[in-house]
């Protein structure tokens, strides 16, 4: 089945078009990411802003044409943290479906966690090792999902109110950020994650998988990838010490200087410092010295879910 998935997140709007077989094999045909910052101001105002919604509509105009050109059989859309939190989120979702007919729906944090874990673990060769407990860390724009499990089974999950757009707007006022701003952001992130995850769940985890833009950007920057190469990012082993050094480097730069860092998409420059802080604090929460960066995330999970797969395929992409 040829499926298109659109993920309308707090920081970016993304598209995946893929052929998915019943046994879970995924062949990616198209993948696009546009930083739309839908969550701009939501933490302060409680509403999606007109200019932010307009950026999403512009991205969807392009994506809809790609979907039509690929003769897609089924389309699904997921909307996450910013839309969940906004008073006008339901109205925005209705408008998206009226204009683009993509079957978009606002999903709960629980559903976001399930689909993220499904995507991140779908093609792994170690799924049969039932006693290996791992956590999938998904640092998003408005929330961070922490999903622990073994094999293909989710054992614990939580959606936290910590995201790159949300925490940037809360704490970072200077350019480059001041040390006290970074310290306050780190303290809040550590407290949020510690309170969200019981100690017994943290102690069980021995491996980590990091998905989404912050983790993939870290892998690309450390490898100085220009242009971006998904094959070199997927499976990259990111050490916590490397992430900490990268944080120090990025936090010392102005926004304009960060826009020119090799491996970092310029549109991710405004929120990357907060993102790396959140990733590092999530790793510390589970006492992980390293994580495996994965290109497979909620997009892949939603595609598998929509296809009603029986799972287990290795696939491509």
Bridge partner residues of 30 (DSSP): 17
Architecture of the structural domain at 2-110+298-307: 2-Layer Sandwich (3.30)
pLDDT of residue 28: 94
Q: Where are the domains of the chain?
A: 2-110+298-307, 124-293
Rounded Cα–Cα distance for residues 44 and 51 (Å):
16
Q: Indicate if 124-293 has the same CATH topology as 2-110+298-307.
A: yes
Nearest to 3 by CA among 28, 38, 23: 28
Over range 285-293, report the average pLDDT: 97
Share of the chain above pLDDT 70, in %: 95
Residues 6+ apart with CB under 8 A from 99: 57, 60
Architecture of the structural domain at 124-293: 2-Layer Sandwich (3.30)
Element housing 214 (H / E): helix 213-222
Element housing 145 (H / E): strand 144-150
Do 247 and 276 contact (CB within 8 A), yes or no? yes
State the virtual CA torsion across 35, 41, 46, 49 in degrees, nearest 10.
-70
pLDDT confidence bin for 129, thresholds 50/70/90: low
pLDDT of 314 higher than 50:
no
pLDDT of residue 113: 85
183-205: pLDDT as tens digits: 999 999 999 999 999 999 999 99
211-251: pLDDT as tens digits: 999 999 999 999 999 999 999 999 999 999 999 999 999 99
What's phi and psi for 117, nearest 5 deg? -65, -40
């Amino acid at each position: 089945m040829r499926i298109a998935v659109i993920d309308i997140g707090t920081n970016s709007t993304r598209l995946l078009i893929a052929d998915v077989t019943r046994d879970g094999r995924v062949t990616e045909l198209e993948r696009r990411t546009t930083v739309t910052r839908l969550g701009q101001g939501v933490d302060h105002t409680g509403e999606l802003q007109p200019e932010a919604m307009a950026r999403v509509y512009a991205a969807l105009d392009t994506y809809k044409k790609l979907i039509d050109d690929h003769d897609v059989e089924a389309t699904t859309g997921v909307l996450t943290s910013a839309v969940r939190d906004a008073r006008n989120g339901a109205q925005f979702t209705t408008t998206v479906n009226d204009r683009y007919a993509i079957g978009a729906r606002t999903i709960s944090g629980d559903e976001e966690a399930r689909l993220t874990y499904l995507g991140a673990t779908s093609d792994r060769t170690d799924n049969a090792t039932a006693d290996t407990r791992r956590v999938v860390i998904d640092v998003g724009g408005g929330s961070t999902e922490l999903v622990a499990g073994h094999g293909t089974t989710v054992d614990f999950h939580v959606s936290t109110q910590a995201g790159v757009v949300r925490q940037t707007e809360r704490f970072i006022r200077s350019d480059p950020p001041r040390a006290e701003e970074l310290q306050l952001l780190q303290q809040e992130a550590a407290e949020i994650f510690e309170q969200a995850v019981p100690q017994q769940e943290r102690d069980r985890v021995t491996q980590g998988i990091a998905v989404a833009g912050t983790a993939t950007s870290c892998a690309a920057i450390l490898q100085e990838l220009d242009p971006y190469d998904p094959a070199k990012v997927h499976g990259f082993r990111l050490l916590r010490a490397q992430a900490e050094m990268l944080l120090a480097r990025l936090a010392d730069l102005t926004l304009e200087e960060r826009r020119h860092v090799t491996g970092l998409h310029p549109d991710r420059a405004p929120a990357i410092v907060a993102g790396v802080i959140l990733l590092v604090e999530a790793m510390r929460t589970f006492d992980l010295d390293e994580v495996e960066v994965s290109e497979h995330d909620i997009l892949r999970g939603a595609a598998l879910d929509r296809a009603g797969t029986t799972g287990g395929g290795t696939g491509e992409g």
